[in-house]
Amino acid sequence: MTRALSGWSQTELARRVGLTQRCVHQLERGDTEPRRATVRVVELLWHEQGIQFEGLADGGFRVSVRSQLLTCPVTTPATSHNSTHAH
């Protein structure tokens, strides 16, 4: 969800946090557990982007998103075959 709000591909998120695209894919699918250091880097990145998570007493969480992030259009670069659809 947060990656989609930012308009980033798995590759872009991976680049920003120092992981491989494959690792991001595995984390998103729940195939692997992230290290604490990875969780912290991702939390800081989302915080910088205006996205914050709050743990709830029942084990769930609440997401707060800075309003500017929601009003900015998301653009993605065209792929090598001139497609402009978002990934």
DSSP string, 20-55: -HHHHHHHHHTSSPPPHHHHHHHHHHHHHTTEEEEE
Rounded to two decimals, the pTM is 0.68
Sequence spans of domains, the chain: 2-71
pLDDT band at 1 (very low <50, low <70, confident <90, very high): confident
Tell me which of 1.10.260.40, 3.60.20.10, 2.60.40.10, 3.30.870.10 is the CATH number of domain 2-71: 1.10.260.40
> pLDDT (tens digit, 9 = 90+) per residue, 7-51?
899 999 999 999 999 999 999 999 999 999 999 999 999 998 888
Look at the chain and count its residues: 87
Neighbours of 44 (CB within 10 A): 11
> pLDDT (tens digit, 9 = 90+) per residue, 44-67?
999 988 888 889 999 998 888 886
